[in-house]
A and B are shown apart, each in its own frame.
Chain A
Amino acid sequence: MQTQRREAAEMQKPIIAALKEVRSAVTQITLFTALLDTLVVFLICALVLILVSMPWWYALFAAFVYGGIHVYRNVKKRQNMAYVEEKVPELKEQLTTVADNTDKENVIVTSLQQDVLHGMKAIKTSYFLSFGRLARELITLAVVSVLIITVAAHGVKFFDLNDALRDLGNLGQGTGEYDLSNSSLEFIENMSEDIYGNKSIAELGNDEIQLQLSPVLSDIDISKVSPPESKEFNSALPQEIKATTDVSFQESIPKGYQRIVKSYFREIAKTS
Chain B
Amino acid sequence: MRLEDTKKTFDHLTHEMNRVIVGMDEVIKQMVVSLLTNSHAILEGYPGLAKTLSIKTMAQLLSLKFSRIQNTPDLMPSDITGTYIIEETTGGKRTFKFQPGPVFANVILADEINRATPKTQSALLEAMQEKQVTVGNSTFKLEEPFFVLATQNPIEQEGTYPLPEAQSDRFLFKIRTEYPTFDEELEIVNRYAEEEKRVSLKPVLSRDELIYLQSLTRQVPIAADIKKYAVSLVTSTRQKKDLIEYGASPRASIGIVLAAKGRALLEGRKYVSKQDINLMALPVLRHRIILSFEAERQNLHEDDVIKQLLK
Contacts and interface: CB of A to CB of B under 8 A. Distances in A.
Interface of A: 82, 93-94, 96-101, 104, 106-109, 111-112, 115
Contacts of A101: 221-223
Given A93-B271, A111-B3, A115-B270, A100 B224 contact: yes
Given A97-B222, A99-B223, A109-B270, 6 more contacts: A93-B223, A97-B271, A98-B271, A100-B221, A108-B220, A112-B271
Contact of A97 (B3, B219, B272): B272
B225 interface: yes
Contact of B270 (A82, A96, A99, A111): A111
A94 B225 CA distance: 12
Between A93, A96, A111, the greatest number of chain B beta carbons within 10 A of the residue's beta carbon is seen for A93
| A-B interface, 5 closest residue pairs, ranked by CB to CB distance from nearest | A112-B270, A101-B221, A97-B271, A96-B223, A106-B219
Contacts of A115: 270
A148 to B, nearest CB: 45
28 contacts: A82-B225, A93-B223, A93-B226, A93-B272, A93-B273, A93-B274, A94-B271, A96-B225, A96-B226, A97-B222, A97-B223, A97-B226, A99-B223, A100-B221, A100-B225, A101-B222, A101-B223, A106-B219, A108-B3, A108-B219, A108-B220, A108-B270, A111-B3, A111-B270, A112-B221, A112-B270, A112-B271, A115-B270
B260 to A, nearest CB: 12
A99 B225 CA distance: 11
Given A108-B3, A111-B3, A97 B221 contact: yes
Given A108-B216, A111-B270, A112-B270, A100 B223 contact: yes
Contacts of B226: 93, 96-97
B223 A104 contact: no
Contacts of A106: 219
Interface in B186-226: 216, 219-226
Interface of B: 3, 216, 219-226, 270-274
Contacts of B216: 107-108
Nearest to B6: A108
A104 B224 CA distance: 13
Contacts, number: 50
A153 B273 CA distance: 61
A109 B223 contact: no
A104 to B, nearest CB: 6
Contacts of B222: 97, 100-101
Contact of A104 (B3, B221, B272, B274): B221
Nearest to A96: B223
A175 B160 CA distance: 82
A108 B220 CA distance: 6
B219 A109 contact: yes
A112 B219 CA distance: 11
B223 to A, nearest CB: 4
A261 B71 CA distance: 154
B219 A107 contact: yes
B3 to A, nearest CB: 6
A108 B274 CA distance: 18
Nearest to B221: A101
A105 B270 CA distance: 13
Contacts of A97: 221-223, 226, 271-272
Contacts of A112: 221, 270-271
Nearest to B227: A100
A101 B272 CA distance: 12
Contact of A107 (B3, B224, B273): B3
Nearest to A80: B225
A98 B223 CA distance: 8
A84 to B, nearest CB: 13
Contacts of B223: 93, 96-97, 99-101
Contacts of A98: 221, 271
Contacts of A93: 223, 226, 271-274
B6 to A, nearest CB: 10
B231 to A, nearest CB: 15
A82 B224 CA distance: 11
A86 to B, nearest CB: 13
Contacts of B220: 108
A108 B265 CA distance: 10
Contacts of B270: 94, 108-109, 111-112, 115
